[in-house]
């Protein structure tokens, strides 16, 4: 039995957590087999077992952002609403919405023992040797991701009890102006007097001009890429979509767009959310973005066939601007210079990818 506790008490105090779990009726006896989990998140993920039940505690990092606690509260609310919906996700066991137990809010979830056979350092459960997953199974895994994301988009907001999670009215119409303003905000830095993303103004104009006229609000994951997926170890299907901290109410087709923007292709420099991943072979058997769109359309109550390129281009625009923020911080001396240059290159590639989608390529 492994009784070591792999995190400092300042992050997760074992005795205080045990007392809280007693009060919540979450098993009895010691917390055993504790281990830190890696993943595509800066949050702390602590797995342990109590009364034979495997659980994962998720809390913000040691140096919390100003909104970290509220983000965890929102995520807990979403995970609770997903119960029984058919959307693969880590089941919520309990949530502590105050900071008086371990110094932050936190959630306790069912542990999902899944795999992620795609070579990204941020994958929640990377497989060391991916050769044991055949290209055929990777293909099925890719289609399964499309189905899982479509199932999420199909949920009826009226039944979820998530009122107030976001502002769905006018959400799509706000996207380009919001992220254009975000980019212009960088220019307040003396280190970044003007945007250095070639083509970003052209892409923003195209997105504004060609925005879909009609859309139906739904629940959005907000960060749909391969690194945020766990697959069943014994079959090529999604076991859980993870990292729900960016979920909100808006247009679910943006999740499809995010898949398109980050999906590994021969031309795409952004592979499953990472700019520096070198794949041993093109796509490693994954479906093409076009096949992802077709599979999504087969399951979804929405028809994305005419607008998928717009949503993909919008995701490229947004993600490119987000990544450019690290480049700005690097120029200011507040981030690693090499990382900043790498992500600047990724942002340029995303804008180029967005323009390519706009042109119908």
pLDDT digits (tens, 9 = 90+) for 233-258: 999 999 999 999 999 999 999 999 99
Average pLDDT in the chain: 90
- Asked whether 71 and 58 are in contact (CB, 8 A), the reply is no
Q: Which residue has the higher pLDDT, 63 or 170?
A: 170
Residue whose structure tokens are 């702390």: 44
The ranges assigned to domains in the chain are 14-110, 130-358
- Does 274 have pLDDT greater than 70? no
Mean pLDDT of 91-97: 98
- Asked whether 228 and 124 are in contact (CB, 8 A), the reply is yes
Question: Which residues, 6+ apart, have CB-to-CB distance to 157 below 8 Å?
Answer: 168, 217, 218, 219, 249
What pLDDT is stored for residue 131 in this prediction? 54
Q: Minimum mean pLDDT among 61-65, 78-82, 125-129, 228-232: which range?
A: 125-129
User: What is each CA distance from 285 to 99, 119, 143, in whole angstroms?
Assistant: 45, 13, 11
Q: Report how far residue 232's alpha carbon sits from residue 186's, in angstroms, rounded to the nearest whole number.
A: 42
What pLDDT is stored for residue 163 in this prediction? 92
- Asked whether 279 and 177 are in contact (CB, 8 A), the reply is no
Please state which of the four CATH numbers 2.130.10.10, 3.40.50.12160, 3.40.50.150, 3.30.200.20 is assigned to the domain occupying 14-110.
3.30.200.20
Please calculate the CA angle 169-172-177 and round it to the nearest 5 degrees.
Answer: 110
User: What is each CA distance from 37 to 33, 100, 308, in whole angstroms?
Assistant: 12, 24, 35
Q: Report how far residue 315's alpha carbon sits from residue 254's, in angstroms, rounded to the nearest whole number.
A: 7
Q: Yes or no: is domain 130-358 CATH 1.10.3720.10?
A: no
- Does 33 have pLDDT greater than 80? yes
Helices (H), 250-307: 253-262, 289-299
Mean pLDDT of 119-143: 70
What pLDDT is stored for residue 127 in this prediction? 44
Q: Which residue has the higher pLDDT, 16 or 123?
A: 16
Indicate the pTM of the whole model.
0.92
- Is residue 138 very low, low, confident or very high in pLDDT (cuts 50, 70, 90)? very high
- Is residue 51 very low, low, confident or very high in pLDDT (cuts 50, 70, 90)? very high
Q: Report how far residue 127's alpha carbon sits from residue 137's, in angstroms, rounded to the nearest whole number.
A: 14
Q: Minimum mean pLDDT among 75-84, 96-105, 196-205, 273-282: which range?
A: 273-282
What pLDDT is stored for residue 266 in this prediction? 65
Q: Report how far residue 298's alpha carbon sits from residue 304's, in angstroms, rounded to the nearest whole number.
A: 10
β-bridge mates for residue 110, sequence order: 55
Residue whose structure tokens are 């006229």: 213
């Amino acid at each position: 039995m492994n009784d070591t506790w792999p995190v400092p008490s300042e992050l997760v105090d074992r005795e205080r957590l045990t007392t809280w779990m007693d009060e919540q009726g979450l098993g009895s006896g010691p917390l055993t087999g504790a281990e830190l989990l890696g993943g595509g998140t800066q949050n702390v993920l602590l797995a342990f077992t109590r009364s034979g039940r495997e659980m994962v505690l998720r809390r913000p990092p040691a140096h919390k952002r100003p909104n970290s606690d509220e983000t965890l509260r929102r995520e807990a609310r979403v995970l609770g609403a997903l119960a029984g919906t058919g959307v693969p996700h880590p089941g919520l066991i309990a949530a502590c919405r105050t900071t008086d137990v371990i110094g932050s809010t936190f959630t306790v979830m069912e542990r999902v023992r899944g795999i992620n056979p795609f070579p990204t350092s941020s994958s929640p459960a990377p497989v060391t040797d991916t050769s044991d997953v055949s290209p055929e199974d990777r293909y099925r895994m890719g289609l399964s991701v499309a189905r899982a994301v479509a199932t999420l988009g199909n949920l009826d907001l009226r039944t979820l009890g998530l009122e107030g999670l976001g502002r769905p009215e006018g959400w799509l119409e706000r996207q380009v102006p919001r992220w254009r303003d975000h980019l212009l905000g960088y220019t307040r830095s003396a280190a970044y007097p003007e945007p250095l993303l070639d083509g970003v103004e052209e892409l923003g104009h195209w997105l504004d001009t060609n925005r879909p006229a009609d859309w139906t609000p739904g629940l959005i994951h907000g960060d749909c890429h391969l690194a945020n997926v766990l697959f069943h170890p014994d079959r090529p299907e999604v076991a859980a979509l993870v990292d729900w901290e960016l979920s909100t109410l808006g247009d679910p087709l943006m999740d499809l767009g995010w898949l398109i923007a980050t999906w590994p292709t021969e031309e795409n420099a952004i592979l499953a959310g990472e700019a520096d991943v070198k794949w041993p072979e093109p796509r490693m058997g994954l479906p093409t973005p076009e096949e992802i769109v077709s599979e999504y359309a087969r399951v979804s109550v929405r028809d994305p066939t005419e607008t998928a390129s717009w949503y993909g281009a919008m995701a490229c625009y947004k993600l490119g601007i987000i990544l450019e923020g690290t480049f700005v911080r690097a120029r200011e001396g507040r981030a690693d210079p090499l990382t900043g240059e790498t992500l600047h290159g990724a942002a340029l590639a995303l804008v180029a990818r967005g323009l390519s989608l706009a042109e119908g390529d």
